Structure 1
Amino acid sequence: MQADFRYLRRMLEETHPGLYRYTPRPVMQAKLDSIDRSLNKPLPFYTFFKTVASLMADIRCAHTHALPGKNWREQFNHTLKTIPFFMFPSQNRAYVLLNGITDQTIKPGFELLSINGQPMEAIRQQVSRYYWTDGYIESAKMATLKGELFALFYYWFIDRPDTFALTFRSPTGDTLRVETPAKPFQTSLQLMKQNPVNKQMVAWYVTKNSKHPWRLYFPDTLASTAYLRLDGFGSKGVNSNEEAVRVFRQFMDKSMAKIQKKQAKNMIVDVRANTGGWDSQGIELLTYLLKADTAVAYYARQHSVTDDADAEFMKFSDLSEADRKNIKNELIPEPDGTFTLKQGSDTRAPKRYVPKPNRFRGQVYILMDGASASTASEFLAVAHANRVGVFVGEESGGAYEGGNGSSFINLELPKSGIQVSTPLVYYNNAVPELKQKGRGTMPDYFVPLTISNVLNHTAPHVTFVKELIRKQNK
């Protein structure tokens, strides 16, 4: 444990650009020293894993995390015995979405009150402690109460029981108690699909047809409105930034032509649950929505804390050999020891992006939530700063001022096999400085997704925007 921790510490201190972003250096160093001193006796594996995971969470970076091993997914599916219910979070509570046992008493919409005598509020606080998120964003941490992630986090960070004693509350207020064996996820999933109480939820949320991650359509219920849905910023088979830009621009140009033909005056851009991808596609999207004719910056600055391509930990990065050889040509040394990334020129000046001639010039409504992260959260922040539209939903899952990302180190701690992933680049979005650092982009209209919406397959964000559009058209 001492060897693994010291190895990890060196990697963080030598390569992580955001190690002190939210925690002053003296405080973080004191924390690291304290952890080192605490590793003075043998501990169970998951106790040590919790120590590593809590440190990674304390860096407050959505791209910094630890996993217990290389084959964690295979273990979860077939070996680890976890809670056989798929939960859904709403307003800091956890509700059943899918029942993974044969008993039909517990139905979708029942609230989970306790597990093995421990109240859910205490469990929520514990699991959220270990989740990786930018700054102080709480909306993203709700993911720890959802589905597979909740099952995993309970197993990793709370307990690994053979049997679960569960207390539920029905929608009518009745309290029910169920005792059930823990099961591997694949076993639970099969029962979820078979249990009749889940029939409608399975039809809506499990049995899905494959579809393109980007879709444009024109709602029948709303005149003069285009709906652009972006599941992520990526595309199958894309392996370079240039290709990412090309395919996205192709899609957007076709979409703009269709929108112009339909003479749509409103556009809904939906990036809910969009967890990111190619930064360049987020930038491209912005240029199709900008209001003014002037070019704008997207990143005020990006920087690294090392330019040494031959450093010990760089061999674990996702940079190609050619990219590593070119590192010094892409970085400008600064007096504080950091290195500014060039943005398309040999100066420190931020790159500016020209609005597209065929951009949409009508009213834009942007749908967002706590799972709008990484590239999606950067797009939301810069779009918000440039007032491209009306923002509806929940606080985004990435910090308004920017996160850390671009390229990553993926490292296995040699003794324990714990897998850690960390970024190499610190981002400053081209946005005004907020009074409260470490929060996401805030919506103009807060519209949460409730358990009632999920059980009835309704979209409150879309309903809300439709009403805004109707009022605007009166």
Structure 2
Amino acid sequence: MKLIGIFTFSWIFLMSSQMDCFGQTNQSGMKRIASSPLQSDFKMLRDSLQKFHPGIYRYRSQKELNRIFDSCFNSIKDSMTIPEFYALTSYAIASMEDGHSNCRLPRLVADEFMSNAGVFPAMILFINAHAYIYCCKENPTLSGNELLSINNQPLDKIIQKLFSFIPSDAGISSRKNWELPEYFHLLYYVVFGDQKEFAITYRSADGQTGKTMLHSDNIRNIFCNNPFPQPDQFLTFSYRSGNIAVLQIKTFFDGFLERTGENFEKFLDSAFNDIKKKGTKKLLIDIRRNQGGNDGNGALLYSYLTANNFSYYKSLESSTKKFTKDDHAQLQIQMAQKNNFSGKVYILTDGRSFSASSEFASIAKTNQRAIFLGEENGGGYYGNTSGNDLSLVLPNSQISCRIPLVKYTVDVKNLPNGIMGVIPDYPLYPSITDIIEKKDHVLDRSIQIMQSHQFH
């Protein structure tokens, strides 16, 4: 099973050819820890990753990661605050390019930050590496504007810096776009320091640029309504004009489905029986914001899209064992469903289509079974490292780190040109206005594309 904090930072590693680790900012009033115990913590983290993480060298060579880890360790020369050290460990984790590995601040330190720090006073969303103001209580008229600079720092440079602390499979940026809004205020605070005022440049929807001054506020005061609330139902089935069937599958995790009284197997069987009864020729499977879940659900979904039995996983392994077909059902040949769909399949994804849902997309891609719309999905095409995990608490800083213990390799053919994710055939992105107004023009546009396609 694959399932996926609070980030705070004070050092910034700007990606460079030398891969040097850090440079400090001032964080007055925060407790500092001497260098020796922090070096001990970092050594424990490094040793644990190298001992237990079976996919540590999937995307970066051992030589390259050793150079990064050495640089980070050597940067611990003086005492550091816990957020400063957290930045160092987080960069080291993100350098592996594994989306299931991460670190978290100790709860007490996170609570202190939430209660006392003054941060950038607006909620920011990121769409295709552009920053947009979702809401700003200090100046509500800024809602919906693109943010171009903060205190003379261009947003593309800010995004580049902050992305380097966010883990994602193969460094796929579509996932970083979706993850950064959750971490932006803490990241920005520790990277650029404690700032009381923010001179911003912005661009409105009609292309006009403007400037204004904002003032720091407590993070608890700046939040407005959640742009992406948890759905009441994770599984929905409907029809659109043109006899198009739409399956929206927002999770593969049985635990979430149990809470809402949904059953994945029964849902699929009922939906595909109805599709066959109606003679539907086009099917859209929407897995946006599906961050994964139970391994078998992805394989089960694909079994309704093929008339042939198929292989799903090529291999599963830990740092000490290679699993066999007797250990894991999805290492066995998977059986096609009798009521499988033989028509045209479209799959709609975004940067939070991750983990088990990315594996499903990879199988559909390698078998040329679908046309892809939306964004590059957030997981690696060839697999991921997830499953059971080790929760490591570093004793001196109390930072906790998650180390996944199973390397999954999906049974897929190689992609050309070093591509590591599933690239959409039809790139589609929501606008900030869509998100604010709770409209789904990406889905509407996907349906229009499907309606325009004629098949014989």
**TM-score normalised per structure 1:** 0.80
Task: Give the match for residue 344 of structure 2.
Answer: 363
Task: Give the match for residue 266 of structure 2.
Answer: 250
**Cα distance per residue 1:417-441 (max 9 Å; x no partner):** 1121111111111000234446211
Please give the secondary structure, in 2, of the residue aligned with 1:258: helix
Given candidates 214, 235, 242, the residue that maps to 1:214 is 235
Letter matched to residue 105 of structure 1 = T
Task: Give the match for residue 178 of structure 2.
Answer: 143
Pair 1:31–1:467, CA change in 2 (3 A):
closer
Equivalences for 1:156-195 in 2 at 5 Å?
156-172=190-206, 173-185=208-220, 187-189=221-223, 192=224
Equivalences for 1:46-445 in 2 at 5 Å?
46-70=83-107, 78-101=115-138, 103-106=139-142, 108-146=143-181, 148-172=182-206, 173-185=208-220, 187-189=221-223, 192=224, 205=227, 210-219=231-240, 222-236=241-255, 247-290=263-306, 292-293=307-308, 295-306=309-320, 339-344=321-326, 350-437=331-418, 439-445=420-426
User: How far did residue 63 of structure 1 move?
Assistant: 0.6
**Identical-residue share of aligned pairs (%):** 28
Q: For the residues of structure 1 that align with 2:160 and 2:440, how far apart are their CA atoms?
A: 29
Task: Give the match for residue 24 of structure 1.
Answer: 61
Unaligned ranges ≥5, structure 2: 1-37
User: Is the contact made by 1:128 and 1:144 (CA closer than 8 Å) also made in structure 2?
Assistant: no
Letter matched to residue 141 of structure 2 = T
Letter matched to residue 29 of structure 1 = N
Task: Give the match for residue 460 of structure 1.
Answer: 442
**TM-score normalised per structure 2:** 0.83
User: How far did residue 278 of structure 1 move?
Assistant: 1.2
User: How far did residue 453 of structure 1 move?
Assistant: 4.2
Unaligned ranges ≥5, structure 1: 194-201, 307-338
Q: For the residues of structure 2 that align with 1:80 and 1:297, how far apart are their CA atoms?
A: 51
Letter matched to residue 152 of structure 1 = L
User: Is the contact made by 1:85 and 1:98 (CA closer than 8 Å) also made in structure 2?
Assistant: yes
Pair 1:168–1:444, CA change in 2 (3 A):
closer
Of residues 365-374 and 111-120 in structure 1, the stretch that sits farther from structure 2 once superposed is 111-120
**Cα distance per residue 1:286-339 (max 9 Å; x no partner):** 11112x32x111110111113xxxxxxxxxxxxxxxxxxxxxxxxxxxxxxxx2
User: How far did residue 175 of structure 1 move?
Assistant: 0.9
Pair 1:158–1:231, CA change in 2 (3 A):
farther
User: Is the contact made by 2:430 and 2:440 (CA closer than 8 Å) also made in structure 1?
Assistant: no
User: Is the contact made by 1:401 and 1:438 (CA closer than 8 Å) also made in structure 2?
Assistant: no
Pair 1:234–1:44, CA change in 2 (3 A):
same
Pair 1:466–1:473, CA change in 2 (3 A):
farther
Q: For the residues of structure 1 that align with 2:305 and 2:101, how far apart are their CA atoms?
A: 31
Q: For the residues of structure 2 that align with 1:436 and 1:22, how far apart are their CA atoms?
A: 15
Letter matched to residue 343 of structure 2 = G
Q: For the residues of structure 1 that align with 2:395 and 2:160, how far apart are their CA atoms?
A: 31
**Cα distance per residue 1:114-138 (max 9 Å; x no partner):** 2233221211111001110111322
User: How far did residue 71 of structure 1 move?
Assistant: 5.4
User: Is the contact made by 2:168 and 2:379 (CA closer than 8 Å) also made in structure 1?
Assistant: yes
Q: For the residues of structure 1 that align with 2:232 and 2:54, how far apart are their CA atoms?
A: 37
Pair 1:436–1:410, CA change in 2 (3 A):
farther
User: How far did residue 77 of structure 1 move?
Assistant: 5.7
Pair 1:254–1:76, CA change in 2 (3 A):
farther
Task: Give the match for residue 310 of structure 1.
Answer: none
Pair 1:228–1:411, CA change in 2 (3 A):
same
Pair 1:238–1:45, CA change in 2 (3 A):
same
State the superposition RMSD in angstroms.
2.8
**Cα distance per residue 1:160-198 (max 9 Å; x no partner):** 33443333233341312122232223x222xx36xxxxx
Please give the secondary structure, in 1, of the residue aligned with 2:373: strand
Q: For the residues of structure 1 that align with 2:191 and 2:99, how far apart are their CA atoms?
A: 19
Pair 1:237–1:91, CA change in 2 (3 A):
closer
User: Is the contact made by 1:46 and 1:157 (CA closer than 8 Å) also made in structure 2?
Assistant: no
Q: For the residues of structure 2 that align with 1:210 and 1:447, how far apart are their CA atoms?
A: 22
User: Is the contact made by 2:291 and 2:357 (CA closer than 8 Å) also made in structure 1?
Assistant: yes
Of residues 403-412 and 158-167 in structure 1, the stretch that sits farther from structure 2 once superposed is 158-167
Pair 1:345–1:33, CA change in 2 (3 A):
closer
Pair 1:104–1:403, CA change in 2 (3 A):
closer
User: Is the contact made by 2:121 and 2:214 (CA closer than 8 Å) also made in structure 1?
Assistant: no
